[in-house]
Amino acid sequence: EADDTRSSDGIPDQGKFDFGPDALGDHGSWVRVPGDPDYNTEDFYVMQYEAKYDCTGNDDGNTVVECETAGVCTAGSCDADTGLGLDYRDLASYSQANVVATANGAPLVHINQTQSAAACPAGTHLITNKEWLTIARNAELVSTNWTGGSVGSGCLFRGNSGETTCGYNGTDPEYGTSRNARAKFTLSNGSEVYDLSGNVWDWNADTIMGVDKPHNNTGAWVEWTVFDPPGVSTYGTLSY
């Protein structure tokens, strides 16, 4: 996907398991994630799917064509420059109340980190790095998330990433109820989370100064190396 293709994944502000999906009204499907003491996280809820937009008032995400028909886009065009995402920049009157976590609907794209944080439904926040890692570390200990069928056998699912050894090459981006099995992670409590890896690139709430990035690279994004918690602290001060 292009570098500027992003969606916003929100989680309930309290980060507590007792703040459940019922408090989110019509914002779609949210699933419980077990906390992880390595990251100082308690149980919390996260969007089951990437953020979508309800253009028609039916509490479900909509496609680009459906949003264009509903007349919610400037100049009648809601499509991204490339791919099938719903372009945040083209929405004429964006409302947090219309953000939903549903299988249907085109993921919101062309949205920066600041906009993503502000775009989350009321009472939620953009997922933090520690919360994202909590999900990832949980998923890696579940055998069904590995291509070889057991923990450490083969590789972890990489979702709709364009390669077929660990992921798969699907529509860019993909959405709907009929998805490849590698599009989701199953957690230790049975919760299923889609597109934690692959499909569109997702922002999280944490930032780091350019001079603190690995290799002291101030001009471009850098791939983080693999390390065990809490090794991230060796790479500078994150905004926790």
Pull the structure tokens for residue 205.
């709430």
pLDDT computed for residue 1 by the predictor: 30
Are residue 195 and residue 223 in the same domain, yes or no?
A: no
Are residue 18 and residue 32 in the same domain, yes or no?
A: yes
Pick the more confident residue, 8 or 158. 158
The count of structural domains within the chain is 2
Are residue 86 and residue 169 in the same domain, yes or no?
A: yes
Are residue 198 and residue 231 in the same domain, yes or no?
A: no
pTM of the predicted model, to two decimals?
Answer: 0.80
Span 50-74, average pLDDT: 91
Are residue 137 and residue 225 in the same domain, yes or no?
A: no
Give domain status of residue 237, yes or no: yes
pLDDT computed for residue 15 by the predictor: 39
Asked if the model's pLDDT at residue 177 lies above 70, the reply is: yes
Name the one residue in this structure whose structure tokens are 């860019």.
172
- Concatenated DSSP letters of 79-137: B-SSSS-EEGGGBSS--GGGEEB-SSSPPEES--HHHHHHHSPTTEEEPPHHHHHHHHH
Phi then psi for residue 145, to 5 deg, are: -90, 5
- 229: helix, coil or strand? coil
Asked if the model's pLDDT at residue 194 lies above 90, the reply is: yes
Asked if the model's pLDDT at residue 27 lies above 80, the reply is: no
Give domain status of residue 189, yes or no: yes
Are residue 59 and residue 169 in the same domain, yes or no?
A: yes
| Segments forming the whole domain that contains residue 214 | 209-240
Are residue 156 and residue 226 in the same domain, yes or no?
A: no
